[in-house]
Copies of this chain bind each other. A is one copy, B any other.
Amino acid sequence: MEAIKTIQDLIECYKKLPGIGFKTAERLAYATLHLTVEDRNRFILALTDANEKVQKCPKCGTFFDDQCPICSDLNRDHSVLLVVSDSKDILSIEKTNGYHGEYFSLKGTLSPLKNRTPEEIGIPQLKQRVEKEGIKEIILALPTDLEGETTAMYLANIYRDNPDVSITKLANGIPIGTDLEYLDNMTITSSLKGRVSLKKGN
């Protein structure tokens, strides 16, 4: 027995989502047929809303349906700008409740090989915003791969001679609750390099 067309279509849809392989997509497709009509209608409505109502904030790259929950928040610190390479990283930071500044989302990281130039990934817009809004600190939360590091260096270089703007990047090191034995050498080396003083000697 071949799967019917609707099942095949649903499988194709679920397979587009990250981390969903064929087997899981198939399971989800059949489960979708087992939902009630109301639940499927709710699903259709949510997807329609995603198409029609949801926009990306032109300033920070966050998704919003009414107004950007970050840029419209007057209680935020407007002098700090956290830079990510993908707008979905904003959520991870927001969830910590530990950051109250603003965001800027680059379109990826610099990569000469993949033809991603500073203009391509939106560095001119970042510079413009830093200047216009009088940003005092740029926090880089970029990927820890070679391209992320290159982008960080590139940005640090731009503001090297500008005394008004400081640039920091998120600390690399041992994740909380992880045993050293499970960690890669790069992470351990980073954590050694970035070690923190607990008590100063002479």
Contacts and interface: CB of A to CB of B under 8 A. Distances in A.
Interface string A15-35: 011111000000110111111
How many A residues are at the interface, by size bracket? Answer: 35 or more
Nearest to A95: B1
Given A5-B65, A17-B31, A27-B18, A47 B43 contact: yes
Interface stretch (A49-57, A133-141, A176-184, A191-199): A49-57
A39 B63 CA distance: 18
Within the oligomer, what is the number of copies of this chain? 2
Contact of A66 (B4, B27, B51): B4
Interface of A: 1-2, 4-7, 9-10, 12-13, 16-20, 27-28, 30-35, 37, 39-51, 53-54, 62-66, 69-70, 73, 88, 91, 94
